[in-house]
Chain A
Amino acid sequence: MNFEPRIVAFLCNWCSYTGADLAGTSRIPYQPNVRIIRVMCSARVDPAFVLQALATGADGVLVCGCHPGDCHYSEGNYKAMRRFPLLERVLAAYGVPRERVRLEWVSASEGQRFADLVNDMTDRLRVLGPSPIQPGLRTDAVERY
């Protein structure tokens, strides 16, 4: 099985990105399957970003923010907290398993937690297999018939 999952991760600048950075500077190893996109706040993550990532071939999407109560912008992560269950319901209806999209809180000091998270998600996705969503769906001849 040569499949290596590709995970897109949206990390908020103040907590989770810093936490990921800490994993790096602390030399905590984690699997390299994650592609990190830094945003200022988890509230910046529009559900469309997650869907776009899946539509263009990501096997999994990870969204990380500050722990509730610690958001640099006070309330941003609550917005993420509210969007996420809505997105989960939509993804379930599309048949996308829960393991593929996750919302987690990672603080600036939680380098180990970030590494564990990435490893866990990568391992699960490796078992789950490639995303069933194929990029370039729109006029794919196979889809017609």
Chain B
Amino acid sequence: MAENKKMQVALYWGAACGGCDVAVLDTNEFILDVAAAADIRLWPIAVDGKYADVEAMQDGELDLCLFNGAIRNSENEEIAKLLRRKSKVLVAFGSCACMGGIPGLANLTNREQILDRAYFHNPSIRPGSQTVPQSETEVAAGTLHLPRFYKRVYRLSDIVTVDYSVPGCPPAPAQIKDVMCAVVAATVDGGAMPPQGSVIGASDRAMCDECPRTKAEKKIARFYRPFQIMQDPTRCLLEQGLVCMGPVTRSGCGVRCPNSNMGCRGCYGPLPGVHDQGARFLSALASVIDSKDPDEINTILDGIPDVVGTAYRFSMAASLLQRSVRS
């Protein structure tokens, strides 16, 4: 139990990569300020809190839980629900928790195909091997359990009520600092928090607003894949025919991909009022294509070889159709 009046904080990962946790560490010395103000009760990458410790807490004992990663299996769901019960404020942290993230691309395939690839037609597996991981396995000493793997990827908000969302893959450390300071201020000093359900730690404006490249008129007669041309480092990427999702993505990331001469792929999520980021991108692309002829339009669009995987790179699980219906 907490002594003094330190905040009680948890950071947890679902189907995640650890990048959001590294981003928290990338706040550098700030993490020491957090430690001074808060007891970190669960943070598997860095502290030794176990599930039993969380189960033993009172409901609402945690002032803040930052949950990153998507919901992919039964353990992710179970712990999400556990943490929801134990937390006053639950934040969907990072693109995976907010909208499924890159793991959400699995929603375009299905389990049977995946099974086949991982365990049967795989160059590293002995031909004829029939073993597949099971949710229960009997061994001599007892029964071993594995979480049950779901048919598709869910967002955190599909499973529990989420108080705030902090987008980004990963969220920029500067934004993380701001978010944590705001929550500490609200919890400790009783300041006001944004309305429940808000996206925080990101701008309400598109990335183009932050991007330093020069923007002229967009009339695209041809799209290029990034290796096909040498980019002009000063001009808008989309104007050069290089796919960039800046127009439909929140800013706040520091424009880090265009600053690497690579187009944005939308990890900071859709702008306010937009439900389906990919659909919004289709509209944005359509408005800048320079043609009125259906055949020519098709030829231009053939320059974007994977429309669905580009437009929905991070947001497939949050999209309107959510997953492939191919059987």
A residues with CB within 8 A of B: 46-48, 51-52, 54-55, 68, 78-79, 81-83, 85-87, 89-90, 93-96, 132-133, 137-139, 143-145
Contacts and interface: CB of A to CB of B under 8 A. Distances in A.
A90 B308 contact: yes
Contacts of B148: 144-145
Contact of B282 (A52, A86, A137, A144): A86
Interface of B: 74, 77, 108, 148, 150-152, 154, 158-159, 275-276, 278-280, 282-283, 285-287, 289, 291-292, 294, 297-298, 301, 307-309, 311-312, 319-327
Contacts, number: 98
B319 A86 contact: no
Contacts of A52: 320
Contacts of B298: 85
Contact of B279 (A47, A89, A94, A96): A47
B150 A145 contact: yes
17 contacts: A46-B283, A48-B279, A48-B320, A51-B320, A51-B321, A52-B320, A79-B286, A83-B286, A85-B297, A85-B301, A93-B324, A94-B108, A94-B308, A94-B321, A94-B325, A94-B326, A132-B327
A143 B317 CA distance: 13
Contact of B297 (A82, A90, A93, A95): A82
Contact of B325 (A83, A89, A133, A139): A133
Contacts of B108: 93-94
Given A78-B292, A95-B325, A144-B148, 15 more contacts: A54-B320, A54-B321, A68-B292, A79-B286, A81-B294, A82-B291, A83-B282, A90-B308, A93-B308, A94-B326, A95-B327, A133-B321, A133-B325, A137-B323, A143-B151
A87 B282 CA distance: 7
A79 B287 contact: yes
Contacts of B292: 68, 78, 81
